[in-house]
Structure formats: C-alpha cells, structure tokens
Chains A and B, each alone.
Chain A
Amino acid sequence: MWEQIRSNRIRSAVLVAAMGALLLLLGYFLGMYFFNDPIAGLVIAVVVWAVMNLFAYFQGSSILLAVSGARKITRDDHPRLYNIVEEMKIASGLERMPDIYIIDDPALNAFATGRSPDKAAVAVTSGLLQRLSRDELQGVIGHEMAHIKNRDVLLMSLAGVILGTVVILAWYATRVLFFSGMSGGSRRNSREGGGGQLIILAVGIVLMILAPIAAQLLYFAISRKREYLADASSALYTRYPEGLASALGKLAASTTQLRSANQATAPMYTINPFREKGRAASDLTSTHPPISERIRILRAMAGASAADYEQAYQQVKGRGIVPASVLAGAGSLALRAASPEVGPVEAGEERIRRTRDTSELLWRLGNYKTIICDCGTRLRVPPTYDEPVVRCPHCGRMNRVD
C-alpha cells in the first residue's frame, strides 16, 4: 500500500514530462520563427525555466505562509489541533512532525506546504478550527498529510514552474510578433522562404496560442488527480472517510472566500479557494475536483483501503484512479466507528467550546494579555497598551497589567 507513493510519482512524472516537452516544442518553434535557429529558442526556454525555478525555490513555502498571514503555533496554543496533526503523522508514518500554522480567517480551508516531508508545514484557518468536529478536522488534516507524504507540493511546484515558463514565453512572443508586425516586419523580408517556412510560421503561431492552454490543462489534470489520491490516503489513515466527507460538506456550504489565496497557491488547499457560485466545477479548467463528487466517492466507500476507494470511484465516475500496482494485494480494510466528541457535552456546547478555544488562541497569537477581573469579566489588553492598570468596564475595578 505504501507502493502507492512510488507508482503515483511515476504517473505524475509522465505528465510533468509532457509539460516539459511542450515547453521545449514551444522554444524550438519560437527559435525557428524569430532567429531562424531552433537551438537559440531551446536555450532561451531552458534559461527562463531555470530562472523561474530559482525563484520558486527561494520563495518556497515561507512566502506562501507569509502571504496568507499564517502564524506558527505550539502544542499549548491549541492542544487538540496539535494532537490531531500528531495522530495523522503517526498514521501516515511520517518521520518528522510538520510545523502547524493558523490563518486568522473565517473561511474554511487548510493547506500543506514544504518541498520534502522533512520541511513540511500544515496551515488551517481559524474558521476551520471553529466549525469542524474532531473527526472532521482529522479527515482534513489526513488529506493535507497525504499531500506531504506523497510529495505533492514538490510536484505541483515543478509543474507550476513549467506552466509559468510556457505562459511567459508565449506572452512575450505574441507581443514581439504584434509589434514587429506593426513596424513592417523587416526581419521577415530578409527571409523569403518557401512552403516549408510557411508551415513553420503557421505552427509557431498556433503553438504560441495553444501551448499555454495545453500546459494549463495538463497542470489541472495533475492537480485534480492528486486531490483524489489525497482523499483516498486520508480515508486510509483515519479509517473513517465520513469525517472528511462531512468536513467537505461544511466547506462546500460555506460562502466565505479565503482572503489570502491566489491562483498560484490554489492547488495546495483542501478545496479550491476560488469557487464560483453556480458553476459546475467539473470542467477541465479546475484545480480541484467538484466537492459533491469527492463527497459521494468518500461516502460510497465500503472500507478504508485504496482498493475500497478505487471501487467507490468507479461506482461514481465509471473509471478508475488508483494505479493497478497499488491495488495488487490490497484488500478491504474495516472502517472505524465515529469517535464520541471529546468533552462529553452536547453538540451546541461543544461548538461554543470550540469557538471559545479558537478566539482564545487568536487573542494570544495577537500578543493580547488576558486579565480575569474579580467580577468574572475577561479583559483583553492589546500589546500597545502601556498604562500599569486597566479599568474593568463592567464593575469599575482597577486591574493591574503585568
């Protein structure tokens, strides 16, 4: 079953290689077109790609976390979240505990980052912490852990860099073509070619237009596939696909858009942060599979293994997703029962407790001091407050700030 990672890597590598081939093809024809020399085009394509890679490498996960305003937390900040991440780390057999980040955002989402499992991090929004039960949160974290374990972050950044290179090259090429066309196209006059030249010309223009689209479609195909596989892994780790299914249901129902996401970071989230209402996301131009379909597959699972996911996937989609080498010898695995909510309290109280825990966490992360007045009021003192005492608005008592 751990073979899954290896065979997935091969399949995705083929798709990434196809994107690379597309890039080289574009470079080749651009070279022919502008410099009458395919090698020059190839060299330019490779150099641009290398520069983009350097960018991506040094930006890395720190930028993603910084852009989204994520804050690192420790075990004491939110024991339950920490515990759940540790549980999933154990279930996935990951060696190092990933760093945990909180994004102060009411939207419901989570993402994983880090080029290798040794430098991985998971981030969840405060909205997610508030709204999801323990089992649901476990399913989401299991999904993110699968992205880390399957090295999807590295794969998607590789694919993303190629996509970016193709887009940039095609964009500049069309600009140059446009302006040189305006200025009389002196270069083209010096090249009175025959029919062969004409064909190259035509192919070059078609490639300039189609290459970015093709690269994008390949990129989306890779991304969607990884999402399904991460769902399958999450079910395998938790042995409880209903947790993730029910979490996805809540995520889909929520209308809040994540403030800090952008197109480049979208594939790393649990659900696409740019959902448009009323649009069937099942088309080719989506980084994420439609949520309703993911939920249906998870709910159709009779067990928790990769084979069970494959069966459910076939039932819903009519074709397979999990590589055959993984399925060989993988039987069905029993599901576990729902865990009782931690804290033997009714659902309503449990939700209040979750909300209180989360806001407590956010105050603390904002360096606010919490003082409990003798009358029972909680006073939140901002870090910029520099008086030695603060007056309780309820009872008028003066409380020392220290």
Chain B
Amino acid sequence: MTLAIYIIAAIIIILLLLLWVTYNGLVGLRNQVKNAWAQIDVQLKRRHDLIPNLVETVKGYMQHERGTLEAVTKARNVAQAASAAGVGERSKLEGELSAALARLLVVVERYPDLKANQNFLALQEELTSTENKISFSRQYYNDSALNYNNKTQMFPSNIVAGMTGFKAGEFFELKAAEEREAPKVSFPQPGA
C-alpha cells in the first residue's frame, strides 16, 4: 500500500518537473523570437534612416531617374508609417522597399561619376550591409520562430503550450513580396 503511494508521488513529481522544464523552455524560445524580431526592427529603422541620405547624394547625378528615386522615397515613407503594424503587413511593405532599392542600385551602374564619389561608396557599403543585416536577422528570426512553433505544436510540449496560452509566431518573408515585384522591373525611359 505504502509502495503504491510512493510510486504515485514519484510520478506526480516527475510530471511536475517535466511541466516546469517544458514551460521554461517555451518561455526561453518565445523570448528568443522576441529578441530576433527586435533585431529586424533595428535594421529596418536603420534602412529608413539611410535612404534620405542616399537619395540626397544620388539626386544631383541622376536627373533622369526621378521616377526611380521617387519610388524609393515613397516606398520608404509608406514602410516607415507602418512601423507599428504586424509582422505580415510589415514584411509586405519592407519587401516593396527592398525591390525599389534594388532597382535604384541597378540604375546606379550607368553613372560612372557617381561610382567615383567617396560619399556614395561609403553609403553603398552601409546600404549593402544593412540589407545583409536585414536578411540575416530575418534568417535568425525565422529559425527561432520555426523552433518555437515546432515546440508549441509537437507532442508533448503542445499540451503545456495549450494550457499556458503560447501561440505560434508569424514568419517574416521579404521574398514573397520581391517575387511579386520582379516582373515589373523596367528602366524608366530617359526624359520621361
């Protein structure tokens, strides 16, 4: 009789320990996702700050590319205005900004004077690096989100997640937006 009580007590203790460990693991993963998102946020802000500088530097050289420049500025303003929006909305707007920037950097190739400008070269390194940082932080965020989602959906941690109200996170994909934009890439006609 006493043996049965001991066994039951042991099982309960083991279950509680498991619950404790799983819960803490989930909290850790959720925080990781949050941190990763904060990283993306920092880099997106940095990009918003860089763009006016870039446009200012480039403007004098590129009289004929007003359309391209305006598209970048507009996409940047729209993306910045939506800074407080959710993951899905932001990834769409930032994706559009990425596409506009990529078009600008393609056009830049046609301006050798600009390519010799020290100020522009420094800005370009900053911009390239910021784009890299955005994609690396997105990479890390998505890995973390996948990890966290797996934990909230797989047995047995999904039981703990369900009991304590953990919800799956959203992925941040710039790619989808870029692919949608891709067919539209066309160079503005000179003088247009």
Task: Point out residues on A near B: beta carbons under 8 Å.
Answer: 1-2, 79-80, 83-84, 86-88, 90-93, 134, 237, 239, 329, 336, 339, 342-345
| Min distance, Cβ A309 to any Cβ of chain B, angstroms | 16
Q: Is B126 among interface residues, defined by CB-CB distance under 8 A?
A: yes
- Identify B115's interface contact among A79, A80, A88, A344, CB under 8 A: A344
Asked if B132 and A342 make an inter-chain contact with CB atoms under 8 angstroms apart, the answer reads: no
Q: A87 — nearest CB in chain B belongs to which residue?
A: B132
- Identify A86's interface contact among B109, B128, B129, B143, CB under 8 A: B129
Complex Cα spacing A339 to B140, Å:
19
Chain B contacts for A329, CB-based, 8 A: 150
Q: Is B185 among interface residues, defined by CB-CB distance under 8 A?
A: no
Q: A237 — nearest CB in chain B belongs to which residue?
A: B136
Asked if A342 and B39 make an inter-chain contact with CB atoms under 8 angstroms apart, the answer reads: no
Chain A contacts for B135, CB-based, 8 A: 336
Known: A91-B136, A93-B36. A84 touches B129 (CB 8 A): yes
- Identify B129's interface contact among A83, A93, A336, A343, CB under 8 A: A83
| Min distance, Cβ B96 to any Cβ of chain A, angstroms | 20
Asked if B139 and A239 make an inter-chain contact with CB atoms under 8 angstroms apart, the answer reads: yes
Asked if B128 and A90 make an inter-chain contact with CB atoms under 8 angstroms apart, the answer reads: no
Interface contacts (Cβ under 8 Å), in number, total 58
Complex Cα spacing A304 to B139, Å:
12
Known: A79-B122, A86-B133; 11 extra A-B contacts, CB below 8 A, are A80-B125, A84-B129, A90-B39, A91-B139, A93-B36, A339-B128, A343-B115, A343-B124, A344-B108, A344-B109, A344-B124
- Report B131-161 CB contacts with A as 1/0, cut-off 8 Å: 0110111011001100100100000000000
- Identify B140's interface contact among A84, A93, A344, CB under 8 A: A93
Complex Cα spacing A1 to B125, Å:
31
Complex Cα spacing A92 to B133, Å:
11
Complex Cα spacing A79 to B128, Å:
12
Asked if A342 and B125 make an inter-chain contact with CB atoms under 8 angstroms apart, the answer reads: yes
Q: A91 — nearest CB in chain B belongs to which residue?
A: B136
Contact sample, A vs B, 7 pairs, CB 8 Å cutoff: A79-B122, A80-B125, A90-B39, A90-B43, A90-B133, A93-B36, A343-B121
Which of A86, A90, A336 has the most CB atoms of chain B within a 10 A radius of its CB?
A90
Asked if B115 and A90 make an inter-chain contact with CB atoms under 8 angstroms apart, the answer reads: no
Chain A contacts for B126, CB-based, 8 A: 79, 83
Chain B contacts for A87, CB-based, 8 A: 129, 132-133, 136
Complex Cα spacing A2 to B115, Å:
41
| Min distance, Cβ B128 to any Cβ of chain A, angstroms | 5
Complex Cα spacing A134 to B115, Å:
18
Q: B135 — nearest CB in chain A belongs to which residue?
A: A336
Complex Cα spacing A10 to B41, Å:
35
Chain A contacts for B121, CB-based, 8 A: 342-343
Asked if B128 and A2 make an inter-chain contact with CB atoms under 8 angstroms apart, the answer reads: no
Asked if A339 and B115 make an inter-chain contact with CB atoms under 8 angstroms apart, the answer reads: no
Complex Cα spacing A344 to B115, Å:
7
Chain B contacts for A80, CB-based, 8 A: 125, 129
Q: A349 — nearest CB in chain B belongs to which residue?
A: B115
Kindly list the 8 A-B residue pairs having the minimum CB-CB distance in the complex, ordered from nearest.
Answer: A83-B129, A91-B136, A90-B136, A87-B132, A90-B137, A93-B140, A342-B128, A344-B115
Complex Cα spacing A344 to B122, Å:
12
- Report B104-123 CB contacts with A as 1/0, cut-off 8 Å: 00001100000100000110
Chain B contacts for A90, CB-based, 8 A: 39, 43, 133, 136-137, 140
| Min distance, Cβ B191 to any Cβ of chain A, angstroms | 24
| Min distance, Cβ B178 to any Cβ of chain A, angstroms | 13
| Min distance, Cβ B156 to any Cβ of chain A, angstroms | 16
Which of B43, B121, B139, B140 has the most CB atoms of chain A within a 10 A radius of its CB?
B139
Which of A80, A86, A237, A344 has the most CB atoms of chain B within a 10 A radius of its CB?
A344
Q: B43 — nearest CB in chain A belongs to which residue?
A: A90
Q: A238 — nearest CB in chain B belongs to which residue?
A: B136
Known: A90-B133, A345-B115. A83 touches B140 (CB 8 A): no
| Min distance, Cβ A1 to any Cβ of chain B, angstroms | 6
Chain B contacts for A339, CB-based, 8 A: 128, 132
Chain A contacts for B140, CB-based, 8 A: 90-93
Chain A contacts for B109, CB-based, 8 A: 344
